[in-house]
Every structure is written in C-alpha cells, then in structure tokens.
Amino acid sequence: MKSSPVMLMMYNEWRRLWHARIPVLLLLVLIVLWAISAIAAHHHWQDHARTVTQVTERSLHDWESQPDRHPHRVSHYGDFVARPIHPLSVIEPGILDQSGHLVYLEGHRLNSANFNPATEATSAGRFPIITPAMIVQWWMPLFLIMIGYATITGEKIGGTLAFMRGNGMPAWKIATGKWLALFIPLAILLLAQALLVLFWIWGSEQALVRLSTMLLGQSLYIAGWCLLVVAISWSNQQLHSGLLALLLCWVCVCIIFPRGLANVSQIMHPTQPRTEAEYHAEIKLKAIGDSHNPDDPHFATFKSNLLKAHGVDRIEDLPLNYNGLLMQEGERLTTVVYREQQALHEQQLAKQNATIRQWLWLSPALALQYLQMASSGSDLTHHLAFIRQAEDRRYRLIQYLNQIHTHQVQRHDDKNTRVSADFWKKAPRPTISLAALDVSQTAIITSIAVLLAWILLPLLLLSRIMHRT
C-alpha cells in the first residue's frame, strides 16, 4: 500500500517520537494526571450532588410536615431550593464552589445563594485545581509543547528539512503531516474522554448537544495549539529558543491573561458589596410605602380603591380579609424593588463580563473555559437563570399563601387563626430545573469565534515563514 506524502510525514514523526521515548513517557504522565483529575472531580461532584438531593428531600419534608399554621407564618417559615447540577459538570465544575447553591425563599425578602465553600479553604485550596477540563485547558498544551517543540526545528538542524524541500516536497504537506502527527493522538484522547463521559451523562438534559459543544471547543483549542507548536517550531533555528517561546505563550495564554483580565475587570467595574446593596434596597422599600402605617399615601389610595370596587365603606365589611390583600400588594411592591436590585447586580456582572469578552481574543484558554463551563451548565448565566427560577417560585408561593390569607382567614380573628396543613401540600412549588444551553449562547459563540481565530493566527504565521525554507 502506498501512502500519501502527508501520511508518510505523519508516520515518520510518530516513529521519531516513539524512538525518542520521552514523548511517549510524557503522554503516559498526562494520562495518569487525567485519571487523578477524574477521580478528584468525581469526588467533588458527588459531594455537590449529595447536597442537592439532601436539600431537595429535606425541603419537601420540612414543607409538608408543617402543622396547621397561619399562612403568614408559613410564608416566613419559607422554602429552600438547591441549584441543580448537570452530570457534565464532573468535567468542569465551574463556579460551583464560588457561587453557593442554596437559596432560601421567604415572604418579602430576596435571599440569594450566598454561602461559598471557597471562603473557608486552607492554603492548599489556593493551588490551581486539576479537573478534566483543566487537563485539556492547561496541561495538554503544556505536554504538547514538550512533546512537539522540536518537531521541525529538529529537522532543520539535522538538515532533513532542506533535503525534503529539495526533493520537491511542498512545505504545506510537511506542515500538515507534522500537525496531524501531533493532533491525532490528542484528538483520540479527547474522543475517548467524550465517549466515557457519554456513558456517564446518558439520559441527562441535552446530553448530546452539551457534550458535542464541549468536544468541538476542545478539538478546536487543541488543533490551534498543535498548529502553533508547528509554526513556532518552524520559525526557530534553535531548539532552545523555540521551547522558550512556546512556554512563554503558554504561561501568558493559560495563566497570566485569564487571571489578569479577571482582576482588571473587577477593579474597573467593581461589584457593590452585598451590605451596600441591602441598605439601598431598604431605602427604596421605605420610599414606596409602609403597609403598617395607616396614613401612608400609597396604601391609603389602595384602600379607598378597594372599598370603592366592592361598594362598601369600611374594611370590616369587605367580603375578603383586608390583611391578606394588604400582604399581596406589599409583596408585589417589595418584589419589584428586589428584582430591580437583582437586575442592578446582574448589570454589574454583565459589565465585568463585557470587559473580559472584549479582551477574550488574547486567551483561547479562557475562551475554552467559558465554553466548557457553559456546556456543563456551571457558568454564570446558568447560575443567574437558576436564581431567576428560584425567585419566580418564591413569588408564586408567597402570593399563593397571601391568597389563602385573604380567603381562608377571617379578619376579626386573624392572628389566632390556624389554616389546615392540607393547603401547604397543594402549594405551587414548581421544580427547579437546569436552564437550557441557549442561555449561554453568546458565550458559546464568542468562544468559538476566538478559538477559530487562534487557528487562523498560527496558520498565517506558518504561511509567511514556510516559504523561507
């Protein structure tokens, strides 16, 4: 069987790497590291998954085992929800540790998911964590550099490159052969991971779309790095300078740019401290009116409109419980303020994101991270979607309770009434589900664009220098 020159180049490169022994060894180390990361990540994931199931079970149990109560007591007793996690987050846990995953839902308060385990980490927690996503994002390129930095420089030094070119081998064929030799083993590893993960996530929400998005991103990223290694290896005359240049690229792209960008965006558009946000919300709440104050202008109009609508003169003559109606109106108003406040917070986060996105082209590693986080459902947009769902559930639940307060409780004996526990069981408590992948559409598109650009960049470099030798 006669192979094409490109294939021959590839086989020859493999033969060289095999005989050099170090590259094979490195590949083995990478696989071992991968296995460690998978075990660690699985362990970590299980912790979270356990918390989510426990919290969900407990919240149902606590809710349903409530005795006969006054509905307003129930609305303060509240309900709590845990953020659902996708099994794919075993690959990329994303902001799981940083964002908190428990939200308390109660009447006229907006609680947010705010306990983050990262607060209490010891010094050991400050080291970059290894997850399967990190392996692809950081360690695979690093190993690739160590395996492949000599790929063309070596041929140059040995004189074989000039020989091949002299024999009429086109430069692009050499480059393609070398690129394939580096890319194919890593692509096989990525595919193997994807297949293993497929078994793991089988049957979960949008399993195939999410996994294939992730695989696409990873393949583009690794393809880009392979090209960069070939291009830089071609442009250097000395092994050393090539290695140094590649390592420098790696340090900047993988570590300095992402961390630097995050820091810059945080300093340029600081988020308001939680305490300040809470004070501001309280000031706004005071401004809209106090339902306990009989002279408050807003609630005075509310009352007179209500009386007019029912054609009565006193609230005692209303067919409904005025206190319950007051609660409903109050809840509506406070919810507006809290949602405004949340929108403000989201705006601040969006500003920070925009700053990072503006400079995202600097770092394909960060682009890949966004893509991996988005596809594993552990990025900021998925988290915010969860917060919105939780808030929606809170509002519906509280207004249901206020309805019961209005219809089932008599005003003259309001404070002493207890309503049957059956009403709690019928309360609307829609299940919280993971948001669809569409919420992170912008992040995915931007990331893929950046990854594509990072394939073009080394290609341009390569096409400029290939002809010189």
Q: Name residues contacting other proteins, limited to 182-211 (CB under 8 A).
A: none
Angle of helix 171-201 relative to helix 22-64, nearest 10 degrees, comes to 30
Minimum distance, C-beta of residue 461 to other proteins, in the bound complex (Å)? 20
256 lies in the site for other proteins, by CB under 8 A: yes
Tokens at 454, concatenated:
């990072």
What's the start-to-end Cα distance of the chain, in Å? 31
Place of tokens 């945080």: 266
56 lies in the site for other proteins, by CB under 8 A: no
100 lies in the site for other proteins, by CB under 8 A: yes
Query: Which CB atom, from 13 or from 223, has the smaller least distance to other proteins?
Result: 13
Q: How far apart are CA 11 and CA 350, in angstroms?
A: 49
Q: Which of 33, 164, 436, 448 binds other proteins (CB under 8 A)?
A: 33
Q: Which of 114, 304, 441, 463 binds other proteins (CB under 8 A)?
A: 114
Q: How far apart are CA 324 and CA 410, in angstroms?
A: 10
User: Among candidates 383, 337, 348, 327, which has minimal Cα distance to 112?
Assistant: 383
Query: Which CB atom, from 303 or from 393, has the smaller least distance to other proteins?
Result: 393
Half-sphere exposure at residue 307, Cβ-oriented, CA atoms within 13 angstroms: 12
The contact mask relative to other proteins for 143-172 (x = CB under 8 A, - = no) is: ---x---x----------------------
Partners of 410 in beta bridges:
none
Q: Residue 58 — φ and ψ, nearest 5°?
A: -65, -40
Stretch binding other proteins (CB under 8 A), from 175-183, 218-226, 372-380, 422-430: 372-380
Tokens at 426, concatenated:
């019928």
Q: Which of residues 222-241 bind other proteins (CB under 8 A)?
A: 239-241
CB neighbour list of residue 295: distance below 8 Å, 6 or more residues apart: none
DSSP 65: T
Residues near other proteins (CB under 8 A), total: 83
434 lies in the site for other proteins, by CB under 8 A: no
97 lies in the site for other proteins, by CB under 8 A: yes
Q: Which of 73, 308, 332, 407 binds other proteins (CB under 8 A)?
A: 73
Stretch binding other proteins (CB under 8 A), from 65-73, 221-229, 297-305, 445-453: 65-73
Q: How far apart are CA 384 and CA 339, in angstroms?
A: 12
Q: Which of 95, 285, 333, 435 binds other proteins (CB under 8 A)?
A: 95
Query: Which CB atom, from 314 or from 415, has the smaller least distance to other proteins?
Result: 415
Q: Which of 35, 36, 209, 456 binds other proteins (CB under 8 A)?
A: 36
457 lies in the site for other proteins, by CB under 8 A: no
User: Among candidates 375, 369, 376, 439, which has minimal Cα distance to 89?
Assistant: 376
Q: How far apart are CA 253 and CA 255, in angstroms?
A: 6
Q: Strand, coil or helix: what is 376?
A: coil
Q: Which of 115, 163, 172, 202 binds other proteins (CB under 8 A)?
A: 115
Q: Which of 237, 266, 305, 442 binds other proteins (CB under 8 A)?
A: 266
18 lies in the site for other proteins, by CB under 8 A: no
Tokens at 26, concatenated:
């490195």
Minimum distance, C-beta of residue 138 to other proteins, in the bound complex (Å)? 9
- Are 47 and 85 within 8 A, CB to CB? no
Partners of 110 in beta bridges:
105
Minimum distance, C-beta of residue 167 to other proteins, in the bound complex (Å)? 28
- By DSSP bridging, strand 79-82 and strand 102-106 are antiparallel
Query: Which CB atom, from 270 or from 430, has the smaller least distance to other proteins?
Result: 270
Q: Which of residues 267-306 bind other proteins (CB under 8 A)?
A: 267, 270-279
Tokens at 165, concatenated:
């070119």
